[in-house]
Amino acid sequence: MWAKQITKVTGDDVDALALDTFEPVKEVTGLADTWWRGSDSLVAVYAGEAECLSAPRCRTALVYSGLDEWGLYGGVMDGAG
């Protein structure tokens, strides 16, 4: 809702996403799905169903770009209790 752009990536293109400068979003890290936080983007990677069904072409990532600090953290900063 707050992203300036949302890009859908599927199949082998998910592996091509450059996430080395991103950090995992530990609040939503799981075995099947992971989220990554960058300087102005969030990336949601959905691979669990594709792995269970042996269908790598079904892997999907959504890249939410153009987020401000609130959009990146949802008002909850790391270390906040």
**Coil vs helix vs strand at 66:** coil
pLDDT score of 1 more than 90: no
User: Token pair for residue 71?
Assistant: 């959009």
pTM of the model: 0.80
The per-residue pLDDT for range 22-55, each reduced to its tens digit, is 999 887 767 678 899 999 999 999 887 777 777 7
- Specify whether the CB–CB gap between 23 and 73 falls below 8 A: no
Name the DSSP letter for residue 25.
Answer: -
The per-residue pLDDT for range 50-75, each reduced to its tens digit, is 777 777 777 889 999 999 888 888 76
Instruction: pLDDT band for 80, please (50, 70, 90 cuts).
Output: very low
